[in-house]
């Protein structure tokens, strides 16, 4: 019986990994959009000369890439998976599903992540934002039928984003080094730790069996991939070195998120 419980817990954890994995390429499109908003890119291969674990560069575009010779083949494999499987399904989903339904599906997955955002906003000492996130989760889960609708927006409770990698950066932890994870995509040493901590804070990680995790992970990944398809394709078309372009966009996006968190004074958000 104990062994069965352990197997079920492992299955749930693997499912949560898949939830993150199939959406990894979609995050690149979002990173490109954020990078365009934050200004010109720094040189892609800039290095961090600091020996300090805690410093003021937020783990941004100067994060080193010492494992580039390993990262590039992993990146190529992720792109091949996207081309062969994820993108075709995302295109079919975008063609077949009406826009209002897609908006409701995105709202459902966003609402599912609100407890993670709430916990990280508390850790960032932003109680007002955390209270809005908690209220948004409660209202949209009940009146909004699990996030399919967004009554919280009518009350001015805007959607926030926060994760544990951002929280670590907010308190001064440097990004470390750049890494491309199989299936999970671009990350840093700090954000890799943050990803797994966030996974452990998700309600579905602990409550749902492996099969349900697969369904959730696949649905989330396809939804986000379809939503960011144009940005990702434009980045691919405009890049001489797609790997370096993705790295630059991702690191700029993460640096921007950390800067925004640091700009909020504790308890005065």
Average pLDDT, the chain: 82
User: What helix, strand, coil percent values describe the chain, rounded to 5?
Assistant: 70, 5, 30
Instruction: Please give the structure tokens belonging to residue 191.
Output: 């954000």
Please check the confidence at residue 171 and state whether its pLDDT lies above 80: yes
* 136 lies in some domain: yes
Per-residue model confidence (pLDDT) at position 40: 38
* 202 lies in some domain: yes
* 157 lies in some domain: yes
* 98 lies in some domain: yes
pTM exceeds 0.75, yes or no: yes
Q: From CA 185, how far away is CA 183, in angstroms rounded?
A: 6
* 268 lies in some domain: no
Please check the confidence at residue 48 and state whether its pLDDT lies above 60: no
* 269 lies in some domain: no
Please give the residue range of the domain that contains residue 7. 2-263
Q: Number of structural domains, the chain?
A: 1
Please check the confidence at residue 46 and state whether its pLDDT lies above 80: no
* 101 lies in some domain: yes
Q: From CA 7, how far away is CA 17, in angstroms rounded?
A: 15
Per-residue model confidence (pLDDT) at position 11: 44
Q: Is 17 helix (H, G, I), strand (E, B) or coil?
A: helix
Beta strands in the chain (DSSP E): 178-181, 185-188
* 182 lies in some domain: yes
Q: Say if CB 28 and CB 185 are below 8 A apart.
A: yes
């Amino acid at each position: 019986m104990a062994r069965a419980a352990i197997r079920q817990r492992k299955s749930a954890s693997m499912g949560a990994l898949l939830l993150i994995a199939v959406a990894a390429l979609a995050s690149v499109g979002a990173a490109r959009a954020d990078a365009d908003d934050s200004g010109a890119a720094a040189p892609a291969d800039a290095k961090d000369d600091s020996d300090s674990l805690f410093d003021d560069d937020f783990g941004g575009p100067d994060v080193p890439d010492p494992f580039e010779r390993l990262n590039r083949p992993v990146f190529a494999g992720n792109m091949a998976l996207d081309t062969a499987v994820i993108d075709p399904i995302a295109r079919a989903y975008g063609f077949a599903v009406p826009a209002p339904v897609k908006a409701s599906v995105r709202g459902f997955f966003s609402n599912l992540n609100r407890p993670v955002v709430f916990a990280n906003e508390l850790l960032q000492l932003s109680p007002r934002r955390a209270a809005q996130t908690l209220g948004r989760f409660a209202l949209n889960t009940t009146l909004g039928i699990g996030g399919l609708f967004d009554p919280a927006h009518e009350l001015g409770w805007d959607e926030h984003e926060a994760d544990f990698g951002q929280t670590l950066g907010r308190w001064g932890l440097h990004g470390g080094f750049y890494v491309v994870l199989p299936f999970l995509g671009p990350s840093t040493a700090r954000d890799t730790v943050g990803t797994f901590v966030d996974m452990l804070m998700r309600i579905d990680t602990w409550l749902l069996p492996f099969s349900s995790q697969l369904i959730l992970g696949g649905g989330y990944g396809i939804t986000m991939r379809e939503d960011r398809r144009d940005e990702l394709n434009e980045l691919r078309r405009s890049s001489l070195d797609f790997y370096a372009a993705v790295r630059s966009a991702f690191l700029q996006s993460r640096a921007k998120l950390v800067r925004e968190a640091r700009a909020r004074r504790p308890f005065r958000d």
